[in-house]
Structure 1
Amino acid sequence: MQNNYGRGILYAIIAAVLWGLTGLLSQYLFQKTDVTISWSMGVKSILSGLLILAISYNHDGNHIFSIWHQKKDIASLLVYGLIGLAGVQVTYSLTVLTSDAAIATIIQMLGIIGVIIYSTIFFKQRPRRQEYIAIILSLLGTWLLVTRGHLTELALSKTTVIPGICLIFCSAGLSVLPFNLLRKYSSLIILGWGLLIGGVCFEIIHPFWINPPQPTLIKIIAIILITFVGTALAYLLYLHSMNYINSTVASLLDTFEPLTAALGTVFFFNAHYNWAEYVGSFFILSTVFVLAVGSHHQA
């Protein structure tokens, strides 16, 4: 049991790291090329969803369609695809648009509070002492990391409040919404259909044939990596991690996403760390050791 707990932690960390690397690629595409957020969302969601469903069909055959046989499962899948998967991407982008990436990242990490409340009420999963400590470390570390220590300079505009609140709920939904589905279906089936549902909604908003970016080799490679590694593989690992750890722990380990993005800016964008970022990185990394101590109680 202890080995499974450690495996779940590893899967969640790898997923968060891949998301962080994907953020760096996305930053390059959106700032340096003609690739837009609205166009890329539908493309990456549909392609990654189809890939995962193809893999799942090769493994489970027609069983991948069984999730559409029960009305309750259909409702859960639609909510997960629209709120948990598509919702996080949309609300995060809107929060960045009305404020900046630092504030959006802090707000997104507050989703862990929603996970704790939801898990306590509906799943009767009260956080253990180690998880309370990890929550404090992860939130404080994320705050230091994305603000670079300028804590008093953060301010939310009125236009940020609504998308920011929605982002908190969507971030929590990403962890808790698929919980019941995972008891009946494989993570491949749930994630594949969820991404496809979100991708179809994005395509309705911005069809891929309208104002597509001019194709170049570097843009094609970046889009492929974002689609199949940063989206399909990352979400699959994160969802699969919840077969071994609870949603609270999985959400805590998502703090490795801003850590990876911050380190990436140092190596790829020639940014420089200050004291707050070093301390914040240390706090985030410490959550792994704190949660590892708790794994002994899982055995």
Structure 2
Amino acid sequence: MTKQMKGILLAAGGASLWGGSGAAAQYLFEQTGITTSWLVAVRLLLAGIVLTTVSLLKTPQQVRRIVSNRRHLVSLIGFALLGMLNSQLTYFLAVKYSNAPTATVIQYLQPVIIIIWLAIAQRQWPRRIDCISIIIALIGTFLLVTGGHLGTLALTPAAIFWGLWCAVAAALYTLLPRPLLAKFDALAVCGLAMLLSGIGMLPEIIIHRLPSLSLMGWLLVAYIVVFGTMFSYTMFLQSMRYISPAVTGILSAFEPLVATFLAVTLLGTRLTGAAIVGSLLILLTTLLQSIPSNYYQRIFFLTGKHKTKTK
């Protein structure tokens, strides 16, 4: 097996496991009395313990440097609360009030939010392809939220609110850890962030009794923690050693595809034609943002060159 094929399989597998966790959470919310906050608390705490332990065994000096430096620790706490916990909690709330496919797709508005934020922060207009991405994303969001009909909502106000806030949280999750990731191993940073987030949610585990779940319910909780969090993150992270970030960005589309397939086939979730078209348009923005800018420069250059010759 070539390195490129190995990277593709790891990235697609990690994204697929993420998508499966969304469908698993939808089943738990619909069929059991499990609360969103309890599920997020268990997911973050257990995954944080395991990943931090792995980091301590693999790169103990990096973990010590992060927690012993006040500036690094403040950055880590900010990432843990505003990025990690925020994104996890709002995503599952979006799943609860809508469904796994819708929540996962709306989360992919993250690149558009980052584009707008960077344009404001840097006080410069976005690139041409960024403006195109924003327009496509807005059209896709309109179709997804309204079903293509003005004056009506295909989603509840709660689903729209948590879905859009989930996209904002995903953008914060991407932007906040950049200074730490530039200096430290990603496994150590995310493991510690998960652990701190889980500790912050610990009262949800202590105060509330264990939910009364069937064997299937507990297996799904285990899947969300082990495969939907630890394995998916590790696989996706490892894929970057073999393939470019552009390819991993494109392969991340497996997450909403798997979430949609499982929700439709196993959970009976129904999607309208407008919702499907809107979802594809939102995913298209991620594809456009994953392609390196020099490719667009070549396209525009060749297009301009071709027009010059034809005059």
TM-score range, shorter chain: 0.7 to 0.9
Deviation digits for residues 61-80 of structure 1 (CA, Å, limit 9, x no counterpart):
34322101221111110011
**Which residue of 2 is the match for residue 268 of structure 1?**
266
**Which residue of 2 is the match for residue 207 of structure 1?**
205
The one-letter amino acid paired with 2:208 is: I
Greater CA drift, 147-156 or 57-66: 147-156
Q: Secondary structure at the match of 1:232?
A: helix
**Root-mean-square deviation (CA), in Å?**
4.5
Tell me: CA distance 1:53–1:102, structure 2 relative to 1, closer, same or farther (3 Å): closer
Shift of 1:183: 0.6
- TM (norm. structure 2) is 0.71
**Which residue of 2 is the match for residue 185 of structure 1?**
184
**Which residue of 2 is the match for residue 117 of structure 1?**
116
* Larger Rg computed on CA atoms: 2
Greater CA drift, 181-190 or 267-276: 267-276
Q: Percent identity?
A: 34
Deviation digits for residues 96-122 of structure 1 (CA, Å, limit 9, x no counterpart):
778888986676555444312343455
Q: Secondary structure at the match of 1:24?
A: helix
The one-letter amino acid paired with 2:221 is: I
Query: Is the Cα–Cα contact under 8 Å of residues 145 and 154 in structure 2 kept in the other structure?
Result: no
Query: Is the Cα–Cα contact under 8 Å of residues 88 and 171 in structure 1 kept in the other structure?
Result: yes
Shift of 1:42: 1.2
Greater CA drift, 64-73 or 258-267: 258-267
**Which residue of 1 is the match for residue 62 of structure 2?**
63
Aligned length, in residue pairs = 294
**Alignment counterpart, residue 215 of structure 2, candidates 214, 217, 225:** 217
Query: Is the Cα–Cα contact under 8 Å of residues 146 and 154 in structure 2 kept in the other structure?
Result: no
Query: Is the Cα–Cα contact under 8 Å of residues 138 and 284 in structure 1 kept in the other structure?
Result: yes
1:103-114 alignment, distance < 5 Å: 108-114=107-113
1:141-160 alignment, distance < 5 Å: 141=140, 143-145=142-144, 148-150=147-149, 152-154=151-153
Structure 2 gap ranges (5+): 297-311
Q: Secondary structure at the match of 1:207?
A: helix
- TM (norm. structure 1) is 0.74
The one-letter amino acid paired with 2:277 is: V
Greater CA drift, 156-165 or 224-233: 156-165
**Which residue of 2 is the match for residue 52 of structure 1?**
51
**Which residue of 1 is the match for residue 309 of structure 2?**
none
Query: Is the Cα–Cα contact under 8 Å of residues 106 and 142 in structure 1 kept in the other structure?
Result: no
The one-letter amino acid paired with 1:74 is: L
Query: Is the Cα–Cα contact under 8 Å of residues 144 and 154 in structure 2 kept in the other structure?
Result: no
